[in-house]
C-alpha cells in the first residue's frame, strides 16, 4: 500500500520523485517532502527498508535524523574484536559463551527451560575490557553491535533521549540478532532519589525499561549489555532486568604479561626475557588493562627518546637506530603511569559481587 499514516495520524499520499524511488521511502516516514531530507538521510533510510522496499512498521513514526544517527554513529557493523584479543577473564568468557553466544547462534535450542536472559550486566573497575567483551560477543555471535554511552543520552541528547532510545531499539529489532551495549548504565538506571531528579531523566529511564520489557517477553534476538563502574548505584528494577551480572576484575599477573607481549609483538618490538616480564608484572599489581596499555605506550617511547637525545634528528631517524624496549623503560614509565583504581574501590566491587553477582 502506498498510503501511510504520518506521525500526526493523517494519511499522506506518496510524493512522486523524478529521481527513482528514493523519494518514496522518505516521504513515507513522517510525511515530510523529499526536499526536507538530505541525501545521506535518504540513503540511510533506504538501507533500513525491508526486502519489500518498505520501511519496517516500527520505524515509520520515528524521526529520520534520529534513525540516521543510530545507523551511522551507534551501530557498528564490524566490531572487530575477537575473544583472542582479550587477556585473561576466562571465567567471564566461558559464562558469556554459554549464556549469550550459543543462544544467539541457536535460538531453536535455547527456548523454554533453556531460554536465556535478555539482559547482562558487566561490572568492575574502568578499563578492564567490558567494552571489548561486548564487541567480541557481537563478533562471535555474528550480531549487529550497537554502542551507546548512557551519559550521552542525558548530556548530549537533552530532552531527546527518549526518542533516541526508541530509535535505537527500533533499528536493533530490524537488525537481529543484535547486541545493544549501554556503557555507564548506572547514569540511566540509578537509584538516586527522585527529588533532585529531573522529570525528563525519569521519563528517559521509564522509556528505557519499557523497551527492555518489550523484547524480554518476545522471541526477539536482542541482547542488552549494560556496563558500569558503579554497580551499587543500580536500583532493584535495573538489577531485576539485568539477570546475569558478571564481575570483570583487574587483570591477573598472567593477563598483564599477555597484554605487554601482545602489544609489543604487534609492532615487532618484543625483546623482553621471561625474567623481565615477571619483574614488570610484579611491579604492576593493581594496574587495569587500560593502564597496562598506557604503560606499554610510555615504555615504548624510551628507545625513541634516547636515540633523539644522542643527536639523531627525528626526520632522519631509522628504525634500526632504536634499541629494543627494556625493563628500565618500563621502570621509568611506571613513574608516569599510575594505577587508576584504588584498593578501596576494589573492595566495593567484591562486596557487590558477593551480594548480587552471578557466580556462573
Binding site for ligand ADP (CB under 6 A): 86-89, 126-132, 227, 251, 255, 259, 289-290, 293
* Cα radius of gyration (the chain): 24
Nearer to ligand ADP, 146 or 215 (CB): 146
Start-end of H helices in the chain: 22-27, 39-48, 64-69, 90-96, 102-105, 130-140, 150-155, 161-174, 199-217, 236-241, 253-266, 274-283, 289-299, 302-309, 327-336, 343-356
What is the grid cell recorded at 163?
526518542
Using CB positions, name the residue nearest to ligand ADP. Answer: 289
Residue with cell 528494577: 237
What is the grid cell recorded at 253?
599477573
Bridge partners, 162 (sequence order)? none
Smallest distance, ligand ADP to C-beta of residue 111, A: 31
Q: Is 109 helix (H, G, I), strand (E, B) or coil?
A: coil
Smallest distance, ligand ADP to C-beta of residue 353, A: 15
Nearer to ligand ADP, 84 or 217 (CB): 84
Residue with cell 615487532: 268
Smallest distance, ligand ADP to C-beta of residue 280, A: 16
- Which residues does 141 contact at the CB level (< 8 Å), separation at least 6? 100, 101, 104, 105, 177, 179
Smallest distance, ligand ADP to C-beta of residue 173, A: 25
Rounded distance between C-alpha atoms, residue 330 and residue 276, angstroms: 10
Nearer to ligand ADP, 212 or 225 (CB): 225
Q: 56: closest CA among 169, 171, 219, 165?
A: 171
Smallest distance, ligand ADP to C-beta of residue 245, A: 15
Nearer to ligand ADP, 190 or 229 (CB): 229
Smallest distance, ligand ADP to C-beta of residue 128, A: 4
Rounded distance between C-alpha atoms, residue 173 and residue 146, angstroms: 11
Rounded distance between C-alpha atoms, residue 92 and residue 315, angstroms: 46
Q: Is 119 helix (H, G, I), strand (E, B) or coil?
A: strand
Smallest distance, ligand ADP to C-beta of residue 259, A: 5
Nearer to ligand ADP, 220 or 345 (CB): 345
Rounded distance between C-alpha atoms, residue 251 and residue 131, angstroms: 15
Nearer to ligand ADP, 99 or 259 (CB): 259
Nearer to ligand ADP, 122 or 167 (CB): 122
Nearer to ligand ADP, 213 or 254 (CB): 254
Smallest distance, ligand ADP to C-beta of residue 151, A: 13
Amino acid at each position: 500500500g502506498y498510503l501511510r499514516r504520518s506521525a500526526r495520524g493523517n494519511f499522506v499520499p506518496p510524493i512522486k520523485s523524478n529521481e527513482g524511488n528514493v523519494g518514496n521511502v522518505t516521504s513515507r516516514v513522517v510525511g515530510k517532502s523529499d526536499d526536507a531530507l538530505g541525501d545521506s538521510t535518504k540513503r540511510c533510510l533506504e538501507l533500513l527498508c525491508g526486502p519489500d522496499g518498505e520501511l519496517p512498521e516500527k520505524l515509520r513514526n520515528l524521526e529520520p535524523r534520529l534513525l540516521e544517527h543510530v545507523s551511522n554513529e551507534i551501530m557498528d557493523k564490524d566490531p572487530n574484536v575477537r575473544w583472542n584479543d582479550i587477556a585473561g577473564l576466562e571465567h567471564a568468557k566461558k559464562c558469556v559463551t554459554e549464556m549469550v553466544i550459543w543462544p544467539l547462534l541457536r535460538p531453536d535450542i535455547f527456548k523454554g527451560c533453556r531460554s536465556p536472559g535478555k539482559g547482562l550486566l558487566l561490572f568492575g573497575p574502568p578499563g578492564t575490557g567490558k567494552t571489548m567483551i561486548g564487541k567480541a560477543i557481537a563478533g562471535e555471535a555474528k550480531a549487529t553491535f550497537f554502542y551507546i554511552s548512557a551519559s550521552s543520552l542525558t548530556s548530549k541528547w537533552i530532552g531527546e533521549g527518549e526518542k533516541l532510545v526508541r530509535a535505537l531499539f527500533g533499528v536493533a529489532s530490524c537488525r537481529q540478532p543484535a547486541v545493544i551495549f549501554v556503557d555507564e548504565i548506572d547514569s540511566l538506571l540509578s537509584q538516586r532519589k527522585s527529588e533532585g531528579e529531573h522529570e525528563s531523566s525519569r521519563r528517559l529511564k521509564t522509556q528505557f525499561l519499557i523497551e527492555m520489557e518489550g523484547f524480554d517477553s518476545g522471541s526477539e534476538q536482542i541482547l542488552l549489555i549494560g556496563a558500569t563502574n558503579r554497580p551499587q548505584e543500580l536500583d532493584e528494577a535495573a538489577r531485576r532486568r539485568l539477570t546475569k551480572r558478571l564481575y570483570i576484575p583487574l587483570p591477573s599477573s598472567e593477563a598483564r604479561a599477555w597484554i605487554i607481549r601482545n602489544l609489543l609483538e604487534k609492532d615487532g618490538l618484543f625483546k623482553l626475557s621471561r625474567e623481565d616480564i615477571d619483574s614488570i608484572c610484579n611491579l604492576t599489581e593493581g594496574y587495569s588493562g587500560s593502564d597496562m596499555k598506557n604503560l606499554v605506550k610510555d615504555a615504548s617511547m624510551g628507545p625513541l627518546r634516547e636515540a633523539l637525545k644522542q643527536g639523531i634528528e627525528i626526520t632522519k631517524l631509522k628504525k634500526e637506530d632504536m634499541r629494543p624496549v627494556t625493563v628500565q623503560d618500563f621502570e621509568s614509565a611506571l613513574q608516569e603511569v599510575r594505577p587508576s583504581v584504588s584498593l578501596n574501590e576494589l573492595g566495593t566491587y567484591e562486596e557487590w559481587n558477593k551480594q548480587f553477582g552471578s557466580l556462573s
